[in-house]
């Protein structure tokens, strides 16, 4: 799967969020956007990552950055995840992994000696014009928000 680089146009998407609303990338023009991909709602790593992004929301707001999380989970599971941890940002459902593939966030993984296809935990900072500023593949759950804040402080 091709990985995105700084300067690439962010692949467009139109996905359903945890509240049943359709969210399009184009809605965020004029704002910076964090898009991150996570394997499964309400698991330890994904919870750490989502809460990390939630806790950084005031800093993101000061920097005109919105946040979106994307996983293969259905909207009702995303809703329970959002309600449980009061995340407060869109969690989008990509059940066929089409958007994840377009972002290079889907590919071969290994665990316990087995190889399988799945979400590669990834994060992307997208600028006001819809271009990739920076991409982080195989990002640690606790590093997503700090990476964004560091990239914006340079």
Q: How far apart are CA 140 and CA 81, in angstroms?
A: 20
Query: Which one from 4, 23, 33, 46 is the annotated catalytic residue?
Result: 46
Nearest to 26 by CA among 8, 13, 43, 7: 13
51 is catalytic: no
Helix (H, G, I), strand (E, B) or coil at 81: helix
Where are the extended beta strands (E) located within 21-152?
22-24, 32-37, 65-71, 91-93, 106-111, 114-119, 122-126, 132-137
Sign of the dihedral through C-alpha 143, 36, 46, 81:
positive
**Residue 15 parent element (H or E):** strand 14-17
Cβ atoms of 8 and 132 closer than 8 Å? yes
- Positions marked active-site: 46
């Amino acid at each position: 799967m091709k990985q995105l680089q700084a300067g690439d146009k962010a692949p467009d998407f139109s996905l359903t969020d945890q509240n049943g609303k359709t969210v399009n990338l184009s809605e965020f023009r004029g704002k910076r956007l964090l898009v991150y991909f996570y394997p499964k709602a309400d698991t330890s790593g994904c919870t750490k990552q989502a809460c990390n992004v939630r806790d950084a929301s005031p800093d993101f707001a000061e920097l005109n950055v919105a946040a979106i999380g994307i996983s293969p989970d259905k909207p009702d599971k995303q809703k329970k995840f959002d309600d449980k941890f009061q995340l407060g940002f869109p969690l989008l459902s990509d059940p066929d992994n089409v958007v994840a593939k377009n972002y290079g966030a889907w590919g071969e993984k290994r665990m316990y000696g087995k190889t399988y296809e799945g979400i590669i935990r990834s994060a992307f900072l997208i600028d006001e014009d819809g271009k990739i500023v920076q991409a982080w593949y195989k990002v640690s759950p606790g590093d997503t928000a700090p990476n964004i804040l560091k990239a914006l402080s340079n």
